[in-house]
Structure 1
């Protein structure tokens, strides 16, 4: 996910599609980890993965909510902050 410079209708549609896709993927992966514990993975590593996916899901949800409210540069700056935080977790 790249930082946003403009947030017109086409950029917004493309961004929302990307966020929804990522959210669906992260939710699916988190569900797999919780439902099917891998016996080869240590408990500490499994918990670390769960925490990372939960943080990513939270940030993606915040991006969806914030993208609906973007009207000026401050909203775009807030959205870019969420993108930076999401990329730092990856």
Structure 2
């Protein structure tokens, strides 16, 4: 991520990092997809840059927070202007 942000930059949830964080904790794509009741292909689409619907996003963030023992407010964020976007 870029260290300095211009005022007004809108940060988005970094779904790639959320899914990778879960994978590193032993929650592979199949387990995560089953846990939040979405097809594995949908989850992999989010990892590649698609964005989940609101309800699915909430479930994925809740799972991430529970597994990593962090608050929902600590979810990885990214600027739409970061390089890999």
- TM-score (ref. length: structure 2): 0.31
More helix by share: 1
Q: TM-score, normalised by structure 1?
A: 0.30
Which structure: larger Rg?
Answer: 1
Q: Which has the higher contact order (CA 8 A, sep 6+)?
A: 2
